[in-house]
Amino acid sequence: MAEVLQVEVRQSRGKRNSRRMRRAGTIPAVLYGHGEETVSLAVRTDAMQAAVRHGSHVVELAGAVQQSALIREMQWDVWGKGILHVDFARVSADETVEVVVSVELRGQSPGVKEGGIVEHLVREVEIECKATSVPEKLVVNINHLKLGEAITVADLALPEGAKCHGDPVAIVAHCVLPVAAPEEEEVIEGGEAEPEVIGGRKEEEEGEAE
């Protein structure tokens, strides 16, 4: 079920008003698409942050507008923690959308008991699916992943009718032997070797010739 976000129509605009809104606990937003008028909105900061934590892509807007919307874009502060602005795009239930979803590994690879390590190489992919079928994330079970085996993009379990735009042979995760650290250079017995001084030998020979 899509997350429900209560929104209000935003009358004021500008950076100063946006900062005032954020201090009051709301985030400026816009809703556009489907050839309809763009609407300036305000959404509660805590509700928006919760939707992001839950991995929501499509939400239900309630209050000033009643609309299913795709979280098209978010602007973050320089620390990547606070949401500064949100762009919502109108969507319908039967509409196909393109979204980037995270890939999460779950389980314990039996290859680890054989001395291997699991490397997670692809952490998000772009998929195309119905707006009502957008998953919060794609979960990959690695309980069968043995040493030397890999899971590719083609192996990902997608919603019915969905397509992935990633390279199908790209490795999402694999279990491999850890790379041995390079051996340290041997230390010459009796201490470190004295560094050769460039030009030192030539100057010494010239001194003996005088």
Q: pLDDT tens for residues 66-109?
A: 999 999 999 999 998 899 999 999 998 789 999 999 999 999 99
The mean pLDDT of the chain is 87
Is the pLDDT at 64 greater than 70, yes or no? yes
Q: What is the C-alpha separation between 142 and 150, in angstroms, rounded?
A: 10
**Dihedral of CA 98/101/107/112: which sign?**
positive
CB atoms inside a 10 Å sphere around CB 151 = 24
Residue with tokens 């957008």: 134
Q: What is the C-alpha separation between 64 and 41, in angstroms, rounded?
A: 8
Q: How far is CA 54 from CA 59, 110, 136, 194, in A?
A: 11, 30, 7, 61
Q: What is the C-alpha separation between 177 and 209, in angstroms, rounded?
A: 61
- Looking at residue 30, its pLDDT comes to 96
* Higher per-residue pLDDT: 166 or 203: 166
- Looking at residue 18, its pLDDT comes to 84
Work out the average pLDDT over 128-135.
90
Q: Closest by alpha carbon to 76, among 67, 87, 61?
A: 87
* Higher per-residue pLDDT: 165 or 194: 165
- Looking at residue 174, its pLDDT comes to 98
Find out if CATH 2.40.240.10 is the number for domain 3-91: yes
Q: What is the C-alpha separation between 77 and 99, in angstroms, rounded?
A: 22
CB atoms inside a 10 Å sphere around CB 132 = 15
Q: In CATH, which superfamily holds the domain spanning 98-176?
A: Ribosomal protein L25, C-terminal domain (2.170.120.20)
- Looking at residue 194, its pLDDT comes to 53
- Looking at residue 209, its pLDDT comes to 47
Q: What is the pLDDT of residues 138-193, one digit of tens each?
A: 999 999 999 999 999 999 999 999 999 989 999 999 999 998 766 655 555 555 55
Work out the average pLDDT over 41-48.
95
Residue extents of the structural domains in the chain: 3-91, 98-176
Per-residue pLDDT band for 199 (boundaries 50, 70, 90) equals low
